[in-house]
């Protein structure tokens, strides 16, 4: 497959991560881990921008859903079935809108994965990796996903660790969290 111009330009930089050692298998895992980390950080940054761009609207929808949700619980407490069903219906509607807005916003988190996998597709298309101990194999996506999840977990833990350290030291928290 012919690479698009953007990938051609980026290719020499990205492939560098796949040449860190003399061992081909290890190189592939290191390079894929670097791509996963890159996609994760770019996704976090872009989703923070996207969420900030529609923060007010998001907050309005969330507040509305929460208001009717709370109302339905109060109706349950006092045993008013009719009010519960009405509030629940309204909460459902508000939740739907909030859910789909969230769906669209989440694209801001995932687009780097699409582009990274697209580049890897040009590079590693058709290669199968045997799964140790099993009789089947996975392609480059099967290696990328676990490494991406691992990066996600490590980043979350790292942020939590830094926050805890900051709390202990009395430093104001400057880290943002993806919501």
Partner 1 sequence: MRKFSLFCLMLLTVLALTGTGVWAQEAAKPETPAVAPATPQPEPATPQPEPATPPPPAAEPAKPATPEAVKPAAPAPAPAAPATMSKLEEVIAKTPVGTGKGQINPEAPKGYMGIPGAPSHFWLWYILWGTWVGWIFSSVGAFGGIMAGVGHISVFGLSDYAKGFRQTNPTLNKLLTDSIRTSNQYLVGLSAFISSFTYWRMGRLVMPLGLCLAGGGILAGYLVPLFTVGKLDASTYVGFFGIIVFAVAFVLFYETTEKGQASRKAARAAAKAFEDAHIKKGGEASAEQLKGVQVISWGLTRIRFTFYGAEFSFNPIWPILGGFVINGISALIGVGGGFLYVPFLTSVAGLPMFIVAGTSALAVLIGMIVNIFNMMVVRQIPVDFLLIGTELIGIAIGSVLGPMTSKKIPEVWLKRLFVVLAIYVGIGYLTKGFLGQSIFPGM
Q: Which of residues 14-33 bind partner 1 (CB under 8 A)?
A: 15-16, 18-21, 24-25, 27-28, 31
Residues 102-121 that bind partner 1 (CB under 8 A): 102-115, 117-118, 120-121
Helix, strand, coil shares of the chain as percentages rounded to 5? 80, 0, 20
Q: Is 129 helix (H, G, I), strand (E, B) or coil?
A: strand
Establish if 149 lies at the interface with partner 1 (CB under 8 A): no
Window contacting partner 1 (CB under 8 A); options: 78-86, 155-163, 167-175: 78-86
Do you know the residue count of the chain?
A: 179
Q: Which of 94, 90, 106, 105 is CA-nearest to residue 62?
A: 94
- Quick check: 89 binds partner 1 (CB under 8 A)? yes
For residue 118 the two structure tokens come to 């697209």
Residue 126 near partner 1 by CB under 8 A = yes
Neighbour count for residue 47 (Cβ, 10 Å): 20
CB of 166 to partner 1, least distance (A): 22
Number of residues located near partner 1, criterion CB under 8 A: 97
Structure tokens at 1: 């497959």
Question: Binding to partner 1 by residue 73, rule CB under 8 A?
Answer: yes
Give the C-alpha separation, 58 to 5, whole Å: 37
Nearest distance from C-beta of residue 113 to partner 1, angstroms: 7
């Amino acid at each position: 497959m012919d690479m698009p111009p953007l990938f051609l330009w980026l290719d020499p930089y990205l492939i560098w991560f796949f040449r860190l050692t003399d061992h081909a298998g290890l190189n592939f895992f290191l390079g894929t881990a670097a791509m996963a980390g890159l996609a994760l950080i770019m996704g976090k940054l872009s989703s923070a921008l996207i969420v900030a761009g529609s923060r007010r609207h998001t907050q309005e929808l969330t507040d509305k859903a929460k208001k009717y949700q709370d109302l339905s619980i109060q109706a349950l407490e006092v045993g008013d079935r009719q009010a519960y069903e009405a509030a629940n219906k309204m909460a459902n509607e508000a939740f739907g809108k909030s859910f789909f807005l969230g769906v669209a916003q989440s694209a801001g988190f995932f687009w780097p994965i699409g582009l990274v996998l697209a580049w890897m597709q040009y590079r590693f298309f058709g290669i199968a990796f045997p799964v140790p101990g099993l009789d089947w194999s996975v392609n480059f996506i099967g290696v990328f996903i676990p490494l991406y999840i691992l990066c996600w977990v490590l980043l979350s833990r790292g942020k939590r660790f830094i926050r805890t350290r900051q709390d202990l030291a009395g430093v104001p928290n400057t880290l943002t969290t993806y919501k």
